[in-house]
Amino acid sequence: MKVRLPDGSKKELPDGATAADLAAAIGPRLAAAAVAATSDGRVVDLSARLTDGASVAVVTPDSEAGRDVLRHSTAHVMAQAVLRLWPGAHFAIGPVIADGFYYDFELPGGARFTDEDLGRVEAAMREIIAEDQPFVRHELTADEGLALFADQPFKREIIQAVTEGASEVDAAADVDGTEGPPLVSTYENSPAFTDLCRGPHVPSTGKLGHFKLMRVAGAYWRGDEKRPQLQRIYGTAWESEVALEQYLVRLDEAERRDHRRLGAELDLFSFPDEIGSGLAVFHPKGGIVRMEMEDYARKRHLAAGYQFVYSPHITKGSLFEESGHLEWFADGMYPPMELDGGTSYYLKPMNCPFHILVYRSSQRSYRDLPMRLFEFGSVYRYEKSGVVHGLTRVRGMTQDDAHIFCGREQMEGELDSLLTFVLGLLGDYGLDDFWLELSTKPEGKAVGTDAEWTEATTALRRVAQGRGLELAMDEGGGAFYGPKISVQARDAIGRSWQLSTIQVDFQLPQRFGLEYNGADNAKHRPVMIHRALFGSVERFFGVLLEHYAGNMPTWLSPEQVRVLPVRDDHLAYAEHALERFVAQGLRAGVEDAAEPLGTRIRKAKLEKIPYVLVVGDQDVEAGTVGVNRRGEDRPTRGVPLEEAVEAVRRDVQGRWTSPTGGPDAAGMA
RNA sequence: GCCUGGGUAGCUCAGUCGGCAGAGCAGCGCAUUCGUAAUGCGCAGGUCGUGGGUUCGAGUCCCACCUCAGGCUCCA
């Protein structure tokens, strides 16, 4: 028989040859490295028989597919190790995830994993790997499978779900697509361990070894809060010790960028216990960053035709009854404050009802539309205690929130210009790698007719597609009142953050009976678009901080320039220089020579100040400064003072994100 | 809310068997006046997350709560 190789060539093999035979026929080094193969795009075991005419490729561990196989096989070895250490444990599923894998278990007697257990499990895994056990695939009927896993309830549940053709396809099992009784596949490592699995796997455990168990966690069976909570171990596995090491370094880098750590180090914000979980205070330096962020957004919104409104933090419950929030969002709200007359007041979780009341405060004409009402609105949401996380998930936040009221026929155009506005604005903050996600009607938790949902969803989809950006579907992920597009941004180290959301809403205008007089002198109902570009100011702050690793662009930096006199007899000149920067509206400071120059430079660098200027005898003489820019190795001496002022001014005015503030400089301490 | 691990000086952390509360950095004082990432000496700083309990004696053992981290679930 003949098979086609990736380079287009054909290879003649004896009938019945396996993928391993193919690798061996190509070369001994490939055969030794091979962990799996692909046949017509499907990843298969090396032991799989090839079919005549198939397009095949050998999979090595240094590819995405290869690492997946490695990780999946390592997960099996971990399960085997856990079952060896905890006889009678039940094991559930063990899929591959980004950069690693996990496996869920139920330990006998309700036991839990502790961090110390990770070392024991790792040691047992290394034994299994040293034993070089083969992964042997078997195919069984469902009944045989149920018998084999008689004492493994989770495996039995998977077999039942999969063979009944349930739509929830599970990664842990495989159904033979052909006629006859449904088959499931298993992999046997040793007489002591067989796992239900779709595969494929490396040929034997000896191919594994560059792994590390990362942490233990609880996880609900099938992600359902109402089902038993299982014990999960997360691990990572790589093709080589070097690759594993590089991954761990990458984790360290992410940790160095952690906005919670940077927030404390740079004295930007904190979460005092005295206030409560998920409630931040911004310190003076963080306050400047935030003020600049907000001021620029205000300017852009004004220019884009938004009108500014303000609304209170609390309201009578009747408003949230009218809006439907008490019916649909009560779980996310703080409990009511009961006042004298028995009236309940609530902290607002959203701004929309207030903006609606502004709209409804007088008669509206088609000439008023689209009406775009903007507010930095602080809202409070009662998040479950386990979910608060730094600035990205808080209980009190400020949204850069606006509601656009427009005619139905204006909707699509408005959405389109809105998306342009969003991407442009985010770009000015230095984010420029986006993808979109379209969230559709949530089942059983939505208001409105199917026709309305379809109309809104279609409009959003058309606008999103018109952008040519990657578009992912989030079926059932919409809010109860309408579908949405969320704009996801990738940061400097490739992580995605959900930022902007744009939601269409036919419901609230209806609930609140909103109207406008059309050109036809008839009453019409406006459409409402909810949108927040930062998502929340707090989250966006955190995202920018991580994106820049604390090296905020100069225009956002709390202190843009620090002037250091070499000796105190240069102090007067340093202060003169300072005045020149301050006169241009720049944020600058001077530190006198009480400490050695090297120490003061180090302090300024650790504070990530974009421009450190040193002035000494020569500068006083010549009217110059020595410029030490963030992200550059060596300073530039003898720059005329006014030239330096102008350079910083241009940096700020242009909102440069590179090189001094951008990701290019992000690696600098 | 659930699972695992934490909370000791402003920060990072040590604290053995239950027996006087420790270090580095930061801060303050004095000296030092220096050309590009840590000058020296000294001083001060703590209700060991909070509240109960066990004990002659608790940072250490037990219980409850608060809070943080990593997950699950959820979401801007």
pLDDT (tens digit, 9 = 90+) per residue, A585-600? 999 999 999 999 999 9
pLDDT (tens digit, 9 = 90+) per residue, A57-112? 999 989 989 999 999 999 999 999 999 999 989 999 999 988 899 999 998 877 88
Question: No. of H helices and E strands in chain A?
Answer: 20, 33
Cα of A9 vs its chain's centroid, Å? 42
Residue A165: its pLDDT value, please?
60
Q: How far apart are CA A664 and CA A291, in angstroms?
A: 25
Q: Which amino acid is at A267?
A: D
> Gap from A230 CA to B17 C1', in Å?
37
Catalytic residue numbers of A, as ranges: 352, 381, 399, 401, 403, 484, 530
pLDDT band at A170 (very low <50, low <70, confident <90, very high): very low
pLDDT at A180 over 60: no
- Helices A411-428 and A450-465, axial angle in degrees (round to 10): 50
Q: How far apart are CA A56 and CA A10, in angstroms?
A: 10
Residue A181: its pLDDT value, please?
62
Whole-number percent of chain A with pLDDT over 90? 60
Of A85-99, A286-300, A655-669, the one with minimum mean pLDDT is: A655-669
Q: How far apart are CA A101 and CA A573, in angstroms?
A: 60
All residues at 6 or more sequence positions from A177 whose CB lies less than 8 Å from its CB, including other chains: none
Element (H, E) at A498: strand A496-505
All residues at 6 or more sequence positions from A481 whose CB lies less than 8 Å from its CB, including other chains: A324, A328, A446, A447, A448, A503, A505, A506, A507, A508
Q: Which residue(s) pair with A49 in the sheet?
A: A18
Q: Determine the 3-state secondary structure of A598 from DSSP.
A: helix
> Gap from A563 CA to B37 C1', in Å?
16
Residue A17: its pLDDT value, please?
87
Using the CA of A613, give the nucleotide whose C1' is nearest. B36
Residue A437 structure tokens: 């996600």
Question: What single DSSP character describes residue A228?
Answer: P
> Gap from A600 CA to B41 C1', in Å?
20
CA distances from residue A245 to A210, A239, A250, A286 in whole angstroms, order as listed: 9, 11, 9, 35
Q: How far apart are CA A3 and CA A22, in angstroms?
A: 9
Q: How many residues make up chain A in this entry?
A: 669
Identify which of A183, A46, A211, A208 has the alpha carbon closest to the alpha carbon of residue A118: A211
> Gap from A93 CA to B4 C1', in Å?
19
Calculate mean pLDDT across residues A222-235: 87
Residue A517 structure tokens: 């007089």
pLDDT (tens digit, 9 = 90+) per residue, A497-529? 999 999 999 889 999 999 999 999 999 999 999
Calculate mean pLDDT across residues A27-33: 88
Using the CA of A603, give the nucleotide whose C1' is nearest. B37
Q: Torsion over CA of A306, A474, A237 and A173, rounded to 10 degrees?
A: 170
- Where is mean pLDDT largest: A5-14, A82-91, A576-585? A576-585
Q: How many CB atoms lie within 10 A of CB A164?
A: 10
Q: Determine the 3-state secondary structure of A166 from DSSP.
A: coil
Residue A167: its pLDDT value, please?
39
Q: Tell me which protein residue sits closest to nucleotide B31, measuring alpha carbon to C1'.
A: A594
Question: What single DSSP character describes residue A335?
Answer: P
Question: What single DSSP character describes residue A519?
Answer: T
Calculate mean pLDDT across residues A382-388: 89
Q: Do A638 and A644 contact (CB within 8 A), yes or no?
A: no
Q: How far apart are CA A24 and CA A15, in angstroms?
A: 15
Q: Do A234 and A211 contact (CB within 8 A), yes or no?
A: no
Burial A320-335 (b: 16+ CB within 10 A, else e): bebbbbbebbeebbee
Q: Tell me which protein residue sits closest to nucleotide B33, measuring alpha carbon to C1'.
A: A567
pLDDT band at A166 (very low <50, low <70, confident <90, very high): very low
Q: Tell me which protein residue sits closest to nucleotide B4, measuring alpha carbon to C1'.
A: A217
Residue A641: its pLDDT value, please?
97
Using the CA of A570, give the nucleotide whose C1' is nearest. B33
Using the CA of A219, give the nucleotide whose C1' is nearest. B72
Whole-number percent of chain A with pLDDT over 70? 95
pLDDT (tens digit, 9 = 90+) per residue, A126-147? 999 999 999 999 988 888 999 9
Identify which of A183, A253, A116 has the alpha carbon closest to the alpha carbon of residue A550: A253
pLDDT band at A42 (very low <50, low <70, confident <90, very high): confident
pLDDT (tens digit, 9 = 90+) per residue, A331-362? 899 989 888 788 899 999 999 999 999 999 99
Q: How far apart are CA A554 and CA A587, in angstroms?
A: 10
> Gap from A374 CA to B52 C1', in Å?
51
Identify which of A195, A158, A180, A178 has the alpha carbon closest to the alpha carbon of residue A74: A195
Calculate mean pLDDT across residues A367-385: 94
pLDDT band at A229 (very low <50, low <70, confident <90, very high): confident
Using the CA of A255, give the nucleotide whose C1' is nearest. B69
Three-state SS for A374-428 is: EEEEEEECCCCCCCCECCCECCEEEEEEEEEEECHHHHHHHHHHHHHHHHHHHHH
> Gap from A200 CA to B35 C1', in Å?
64
Residue A538 structure tokens: 């707090």
Q: Do A234 and A213 contact (CB within 8 A), yes or no?
A: yes
Residue A429: its pLDDT value, please?
95
pLDDT band at A624 (very low <50, low <70, confident <90, very high): very high
- Which nucleotides of chain B are near protein (any atom < 7 Å from a CB)? 1-5, 7, 11-12, 31-39, 66-76
pLDDT at A118 over 90: no
This prediction has a pTM of 0.88
pLDDT band at A633 (very low <50, low <70, confident <90, very high): confident
Residue A528: its pLDDT value, please?
94
Mean pLDDT of the residues in chain A: 89
Residue A177: its pLDDT value, please?
46
Residue A442: its pLDDT value, please?
81
pLDDT at A644 over 60: yes
Identify which of A311, A353, A318, A317 has the alpha carbon closest to the alpha carbon of residue A512: A353
